[in-house]
Chains A and B, each alone.
Chain A
Amino acid sequence: MINREEFLNKRYKSEKRFQFYGKSAIVLALLFLAIFLFKIFSTGYTAFQKTWITIPINYDPEFMYLDADQKPSIQDLEDSEYFDVGIESFAALDQNANEDQITDIKRMFAFIFEEEIKYHILSNPDDFGKIVEVKLTASDDLDQVFKGNYPRELPEERRRVTDYQLKIFDKLSAEGKVESNFNFSFFTNADSREAELAGIASSFMGSLFSILVCLAVSFPVALLAAIYLEEFAPKNRLTDFIEVNINNLAAVPSIVFGLLGLGVLLAVFGLPRSTPLVGGITLSLMTLPTIIIAARASLKAVPPSIREAALAMGASRMQTTLHHTVPLSLPGTLSGTIIGLAQALGETAPLILIGMVAFVNTIPGSPMDPAASLPVQIYIWAESAERGFVEKVSACIMVLLIFLVLMNLVAQMVRHKFEKKWN
């Protein structure tokens, strides 16, 4: 005979063990998430800071090819050259610098130093002929040096930063001429080959336009398809077949949709390459089955008694659907839509195929302009050799993650706010 006391104890123990397994699984998942987030944030947060070096700039009329005796007009200042102003000012940092060393000093600054020098004199025309301190963007390598991300201990021939540059930089740094501030240009600039100037504006707008196009194409189509299949279509072999295929469509690898976009939208319809319009339509092929499935599930969840009530009142099938079933199913449909869009937002492969991987240094103003997208931007930057892009990759991931979290929060809110309770 079984000892029942022992038997009961065994049952309790196995239940405890089971709970322990569950808890460890959750802890493990959270641990991975924490490591992932820590890695991204610790690498990426420095991208939101940018280094500036303040040096005396000599607005000598001679270097600007202007008449020294007469105050120049704004137009004169606009038209004149600033390359020599820069070079002469750089040379002044070290009296004994030879030609190569002056070039080295020039490379310590972003290549837009001419514009920065010009911008200063245009907004302060009175500094004409004077030597004034101007803030210039540091090159991406020195930016990394200042943030402490640069391996200074490497031998010189394996570094892009020379010992001479470091010497000048350390001197300026000791004088308090080097500072880092919030990096606005990361959000306002388009992509650039220079890490210190590269920003996410183009890819952000590209993603936004793609998602909007995707929403505009997939939501109405998916909603109508779901309503027809769920409420009107007869249940027969054909609709079963369609249902199976919609489910299959949701499982098709996204790169296949990319090929479809390439082969049909670009090749047959001749839509403009690399644009959010094509990207959005391609992504909508992916979100379509997701939204149809979500919409059908939430239509199914509306109790049949509501439909019967409306039909028994003499409502037509369309009135029953539009007045009762669809409004009740909308919260579920909308949150499914947002989750589908969030998936599309993170999609890279199909966009690469339709050419949204191109280097775009302009900010798109409409879905018809060439653009990148956030995940593709991550891909482009991750491929770049310069050290300055490492933190940019993480920062871009952070922006994308924040975007996704916000979308999922909205989905949750929609669901909670508009969900109707029935008994």
Chain B
Amino acid sequence: MNKIEAKNVNVFYGEKQALFDINMDIQEKQVTALIGPSGCGKSTFLRCLNRMNDVIDICKVEGEIKINDYNINQKATDVVRLREKIGMVFQKPNPFPKTLYENISYGPEIHGMAQSKDELDQIVEDSLKKAALWNEVKDRLNEPGTGLSGGQQQRLCIARAISVKPEVILMDEPCSALDPIATAQIEELIDELKKEHTIVIVTHSMSQAARVSQQTGFFHLGKLIEVGSTDKIFKNPDQKQTQDYITGRFG
């Protein structure tokens, strides 16, 4: 079933066009990987899905992006509600310089999700458990989130993202700043999260895409060259460009 449908998406940074006519469907409760060389537009596309490009003054997004059959790329869309439904994890871990507890409770608080302190405590605990961080931090919830290791910080950011129970989680190269062990932990976590959430992940690592995703889209120079099941893309791609990139001949 399609969770997200992008139709004829064009993105411009001022005069420069960054994405050309992207058409892509993203399946519900699956992991979709976006791969491609640097500057190919995969992160730009990801940021269209929760309208994070709004932050950039000169950025203009055209086309239709339907989530649950509703076009989010229109003025009338409430970005606050949208981002409540579509969480995001960034390349560099960016916890708030506040306590671990406040990092997680912030989302539920601003969206009014908890009626009481107990409920909020429960949400924090559940989120940290789902992010496989609870056992490591349960005794120091009042310490600053910035004091954790890089891998722990990234899992904290994932816990923060899932605290508001989003339907979709966008991940922008979530492991690129982490060591292999932390990366393995995050990948395991992604596998776990896809039971409840639709995940779109941008990655530079082909092996990571192969490991964690069911669908893969290959971007090159702002165009979506090929999209399909990960198996097919990695074993038997239709396009020569995809073949070349996967086998390491460029990029």
Contact = CB atoms under 8 A, between A and B. Distances in A.
B82 to A, nearest CB: 8
B194 interface: no
A308 B57 contact: no
Given A234-B57, A421-B97, A421-B146, A311 B52 contact: yes
Interface string A323-361: 110001000000000000000000000000000000000
Contacts of A315: 80, 106, 110
A423 B80 contact: no
B87 A312 contact: yes
Contacts of B80: 314-316
Q: Which of A305, A316, A319, A423 has the most CB of B within 10 A?
A: A423
A314 B84 contact: yes
A312 B97 contact: no
Contacts of A316: 80
Interface in A377-423: 420-423
Nearest to B111: A314
B120 to A, nearest CB: 15
A4 interface: no
A11 interface: no
A306 interface: yes
Interface in B52-103: 52, 55, 57, 79-84, 87-88, 90, 92, 94-97
A40 interface: no
Contact of A309 (B57, B79, B94, B164): B94
Interface residues of B, number: 27
B50 interface: yes
Interface string A297-320: 000000101111111111110010
Contacts of A234: 57
Q: Which of B50, B55, B81, B92 has the most CB of A within 10 A?
A: B55
A235 B55 contact: no
B52 A306 contact: no
B148 to A, nearest CB: 10
A324 B107 CA distance: 13
Given A314-B83, A314-B84, A423-B146, A305 B111 contact: no
B94 A328 contact: no
Contact of B50 (A309, A312, A420, A423): A312
Interface residues of A, number: 23
B146 A319 contact: no
Nearest to B89: A312
Contact of B110 (A309, A312, A313, A328): A313
A306 B92 CA distance: 11
A314 B110 contact: yes
B197 interface: no
A180 B206 CA distance: 88
A311 B84 CA distance: 10
B57 A235 contact: yes
A315 B88 CA distance: 13
Nearest to A309: B94
Q: Which of B80, B81, B111 has the most CB of A within 10 A?
A: B80
Interface string A276-309: 0000000000000000000000000001011111
Interface string B107-132: 10011000000000000000000000
Nearest to B107: A313
A272 B157 CA distance: 58
Q: Which of B106, B111, B160 has the most CB of A within 10 A?
A: B106
A312 B83 contact: yes
A319 B95 CA distance: 16
Contacts of B90: 305, 308-309, 312
A66 to B, nearest CB: 77
Nearest to A324: B96
B96 A314 contact: no
Contacts of A319: 110
Nearest to A235: B57
Contacts of A323: 106, 110
A305 B146 CA distance: 13
A423 B96 CA distance: 11
A201 to B, nearest CB: 45
B97 A311 contact: no
B97 A420 contact: yes
A407 B157 CA distance: 40
B97 A309 contact: no
B110 A305 contact: no
A164 to B, nearest CB: 76
A423 B110 CA distance: 25
A146 to B, nearest CB: 61
A108 B63 CA distance: 95
Nearest to B108: A313
Interface in A44-68: none
A328 B80 CA distance: 22
A314 B97 contact: no
A316 B87 CA distance: 14
A134 to B, nearest CB: 67
Contacts of B92: 305
A235 B59 CA distance: 13
Nearest to A313: B107
A391 B157 CA distance: 64
B1 to A, nearest CB: 25
Report the 3 A-B pairs with minimum CB-CB distance, sorted nearest first. Answer: A305-B94, A314-B83, A312-B88
Given A309-B160, A421-B146, 12 more contacts: A305-B90, A308-B52, A309-B95, A309-B157, A310-B96, A310-B106, A312-B50, A312-B161, A313-B164, A314-B83, A314-B107, A314-B164
25 contacts: A305-B90, A305-B92, A306-B96, A308-B55, A308-B94, A309-B94, A309-B95, A309-B160, A310-B96, A310-B106, A312-B83, A312-B161, A313-B160, A313-B161, A313-B164, A314-B79, A314-B164, A315-B80, A315-B110, A319-B110, A324-B96, A420-B97, A420-B146, A421-B97, A423-B146
